[in-house]
Structure 1
Amino acid sequence: MTSVPTIRLNNGVEIPQLGFGTYQIKQDDTKEAVVAALEVGFRHIDTAEMYGNEKQVGQAVRASGLDRGEVFVTSKLNNGFHAHDDALKAFNRSLEDLEFDYLDLFLIHWPLPDVGDFVETWRAMEEIYRSGRAKAVGVSNFQPHHLRRLLEETETVPTVNQIEAHPYLTQDELRAFDAEHGIATEAWSPIAQGKVLDDPTITRIAGRHGRTPAQVTLRWHLQRGDIVFPKSVKRSRMEENFDVFGFDLGEDEIDQISRLNRDERVGPDPDRFNWIP
């Protein structure tokens, strides 16, 4: 089986650089999809309370026959539970739904700038981390000005910042900020929900390597240091997404893909997104 490289987070935890995402996978399909992903070789599963499929992710990990310690599992704090005590209860609920004793990584899903004080939310995350029931804690969709507040007002540097990133939204400045402060960058929507797959630059590079546009895009992410977790319910696509370690892009090819940046989002702007379910 292909060995997936790991990245050492700022607290020493090792995270597989390639994982499997479960966003928008229906509850009825999640267990089967995650079991298939684990059979293909994925050992990093990304879920969230907001996705509504934590219970099925936990079922899949147990059904896989793998030891719990062999699978890195991330979940995220839902937007309605940013108050300190609510965050603690929401974390407990995630563990109960997953039927796990611990999470490998727990994230604040969105900063919600107009809803509450995410610094207080982060203090609850610090308590969760100190309890040992989350091996690492981090954030998702945080911009530099959000991160600066955490760095200035709290004691724990987030281990990761999970952000929308793809060739049409390269996020170079935010990724540089993360790197400067020892925060690993995770990329969600790594192929822009398929929008980049017909791009002439990417298809040309894919043809040169005898690879698919999705494989080339994922390889671009990996070579620039992103942690990435593509999603599919089709096993053939999972196998394609996992088969990204048998080739390398040249520096000129990485630059060509990076120059496709349009600052174009497929998801919400974190500075404006305040949705609570």
Structure 2
Amino acid sequence: MQMPQIGLGTFRLKGDDAYNSVKTGLEVGYRHIDTAQIYDNEEEVGKALTDSGLPRAEVFVTTKIWNSNLGKENLIPSLMESLRKLQTSYVDLLLIHWPSKEFALKETLDELMKAKAQGLTKEIGISNFPIKETQEAIDLIGANNIYTNQIEIHPFLQNKKLVNFLNEKGIRVTAYMPLAYGKVMTDETLKSVGGIHDASPATVSMSWLLDQGFTVIPSSTKRSNLENNLKTRVKFLTSQDAIKIQSLDRNERLAQPEFSPKWD
């Protein structure tokens, strides 16, 4: 199953909010759900998947291995626990959540490749990897074995250098926080572009990302927002619109934990 270009992110969603968001998302047509061990919502995501009644093969599920589980002793056991919570025998995509300063990348990638060989995940990939770390991963297992690099991208953080590198290597780009925690909704440039096309700033931002071939994983708990995000129109923005949006890049990174790598 190929990864649908629009997915449902679950970052910061807990308990009933996570369950209801995923359950509603599946009801309105999402077939791509993104979670992670550190989100502490895999059980709710799994219950929503099961309660949806959809065949497992029809939903693309991504989860991510947390930093403390990236070593040889813990990676596959922690994945088995994630699968238990998700009520599935496999995930479609398994990512390293962040580059590790504690575990050698080769050790982690070897375990991911084992998980894939064992059928515990269909594909493997990386998240929050700058160019240096991505190249190291390529050198170890080849770009063909890296399904995606999931990184923060929105109009205010466009990550152009890294995106160009990933495109050159043939690695898919997955954009998280595509709406910048809702900041796109108040931006005057995005409102102006949207006004020309009878589109919301959220639609403008999402369409701009989709037009570049990125996968996007917006998050919401509201049915109307979930529906609107899933039905985002594409290929309506002009080259002039794109230039206006590109001018908004100000390297405004929202995901910046203390263990972040050195960004490009």
Report matched runs for 1:1-277 at 5 Å. Answer: 13-112=1-100, 114-155=101-142, 157-245=145-233, 248-268=236-256, 270-271=260-261
- Distance in 1 separating the partners of 2:233 and 2:200: 13
SS in 2 for 1:23: coil
Q: Could you say what secondary structure the match of 1:248 adopts?
A: coil
Partner of residue 4, structure 1: none
Mapped to 2, the partners of 1:232 and 1:264 lie a distance apart of 21
Q: Percent identity?
A: 37
TM-score by length of 1: 0.89
The alpha carbon displacement at 1:90 in A equals: 1.0
What do the CA deviations read for 1:204-247 (whole angstroms, capped 9, x no partner)? 01111111111110111100111001101111111221221366
Any conservation in 2 of the 1:178–1:185 contact (CA below 8 Å)? Answer: yes
Q: Is the 8 A contact 1:161 1:186 kept in 2?
A: yes
Q: C-alpha distance in 2, partners of 1:94/1:34? A: 17
Partners of 2:65 and 2:110 in 1: CA distance: 13
What one-letter code is carried by the residue in structure 1 that aligns with 2:251? D
Count the aligned residue pairs. Answer: 260
Contact 1:157 1:183 in 2 (8 A): no
Deviation digits for residues 128-184 of structure 1 (CA, Å, limit 9, x no counterpart): 112222111000000110011112233563110000111111011111111111110
TM-score (norm 2): 0.94
The answer to whether the Cα contact below 8 Å between 2:203 and 2:233 also exists between their aligned partners in 1 is no
Q: Distance in 2 between matches of 1:164 and 1:95?
A: 26
Q: Distance in 2 between matches of 1:157 and 1:237?
A: 34
Instruction: Assess if the C-alpha contact under 8 Å between 1:35 and 1:61 holds in 2.
Output: yes
Alpha-carbon distance between aligned partners in 2 of 1:158 and 1:36, rounded to the nearest angstrom: 30
What RMSD in Å do the two structures reach over aligned CA positions?
A: 1.6
Structure 2's unaligned 5+ residue stretches are none
Structure 1: 4+ residue segments shifted above 2 A:
153-157
Could you tell me how far 1:34 is from its partner in structure 2?
0.7
State the SS of the aligned residue for 1:225. Answer: coil
Comparing 225-234 with 251-260, which one deviates more in the overlay?
251-260
Distance, in Å, in 2 between the alignment partners of 1:271 and 1:213 is 31
Distance 2:2 2:85 in 1: 24
Aligned-residue offset at 1:47: 0.4
d(CA) in 2 for partners of 1:252, 1:119? 44
Mapped partners of 1:48, 1:95: distance in 2: 11
Amino acid across the alignment from 1:152? D
8 Å CA contact retained: 1:159, 1:182:
no
Distance 1:197 1:33 in 2: 20
Equivalent residues of 2:207, 2:234 under 8 A apart: no
**Contact 2:156–2:252 (Cα < 8 Å) also in 1:** yes
Q: Does 56-65 or 219-228 show the bigger shift?
A: 56-65
Distance, in Å, in 2 between the alignment partners of 1:36 and 1:194 is 20
